[in-house]
A = this chain, B = another copy of it.
């Protein structure tokens, strides 16, 4: 048994050294190395580990303890984003480097660092109490950065093994090392791609301009009908199922140590533009969106080319909030686009799937159903205490704008509600060059989770 988990920086450095880029098969050695590293650490912790094949990268499933004990499931992912653009890195993305209180490397924050936090905390807790009466299932997947395509089928197949009393995740964000956030909700998603076709080939815009509708003109006309001037989505019925945020959620948000002005500076925009009735920091959590992620057609190069293009496209994603349904919104947006298209242009809307929004109401907060598992009911206030002891402030409870569809999947299929403690921050440069993880957060979080695991087991 290695004692690597005695030294979090050393452990994370070794984990980062495996370039486990899931999107690119040329990194298969790195993917394999990261999987072996995670397997070895789980074995160090006394877990028995199963490697479960999928069409792309296997899932690791580690377990320890007596199945009759309270059952905790921990989620993480061993894969990372590609390092590109690699020349913008200040140091080798796969040779972790410590400077200015941070550890730099691809995956340092997303998600290898938070996994090392959980593992080191468990390591210490289990050293103190080897018979800690907590049944733990450690679930580490390898396709998170490519959208977890194999996760749902894996889940359906292994749902009995994954049944438990609660899920613990650290794959969300917090404002900084002095203020953590417990993420209580994630927006849902629905994606689609729209293709417009006009003439059978690109045409000279001088010779033929005026005879036909330019597909780009149709594109901007159609897209412009999807929002009103204020920025609200104009698709009929889009907001029908949207729930107002609860008063306590807005109050929690007031505790966020980030002002609208700071957020505007961070984004680098001339002015924030939330929809009416919301501040920007509210809008990203409580309000749904319809965003154009990519749009194009015609000449894309330098200078000019006087062409009427044959085709145009737009890629759209909507972020959804409770109780919107992914399939329902997809259908409404598709119908809105089709009816806005002039009959001189052919339109095709391809739905690309998505997932419904996720929300968990912390026990004790208004709106909580009260029928959560006893373990979950205990875990929320316990983690609040443990974090308060180490960070000097209680975590705040906030929904987040992003989507992690597997959280919703684990709820739907395995009945697990999630306690999500955010350990990375905006400064960590996720998915970008010079990704890093804040060592102060790392160390405080290990201490917090050590007490959390001990007390969660001891008192159960």
Contact = CB atoms under 8 A, between A and B. Distances in A.
22 contacts: A187-B206, A189-B206, A189-B306, A204-B402, A205-B289, A208-B284, A208-B401, A210-B278, A210-B284, A210-B288, A211-B263, A212-B272, A216-B314, A270-B344, A293-B306, A293-B308, A294-B299, A294-B304, A295-B297, A296-B296, A298-B315, A300-B300
Interface in A202-225: 203-214, 216-217, 219-221, 223-224
A289 B401 contact: no
A283 B211 contact: yes
Interface string A258-275: 000001000111111111
A299 B200 CA distance: 25
A193 B304 contact: yes
Contacts of A191: 304
Contacts of A212: 267, 269, 272-273, 280
Residue among A200, A217, A229, A300 with most chain B CB within 10 A: A217
Interface residues of A, number: 82
A364 interface: no
A418 to B, nearest CB: 17
Interface in A241-283: 263, 267-275, 278, 280-281, 283
A331 interface: no
Given A268-B200, A296-B296, A207 B284 contact: yes
A272 B344 contact: yes
A26 to B, nearest CB: 18
Contacts of A210: 274-275, 278, 280, 283-284, 287-289, 319, 401
Contacts of A275: 210
Contacts of A220: 219-220, 223-224, 292, 295
Contacts of A289: 205, 209-210
Contacts of A346: 270
Contacts of A269: 198-200, 212-213, 344
Nearest to A298: B294
Contacts of A308: 291, 293
A403 interface: yes
Nearest to A275: B210
A317 interface: yes
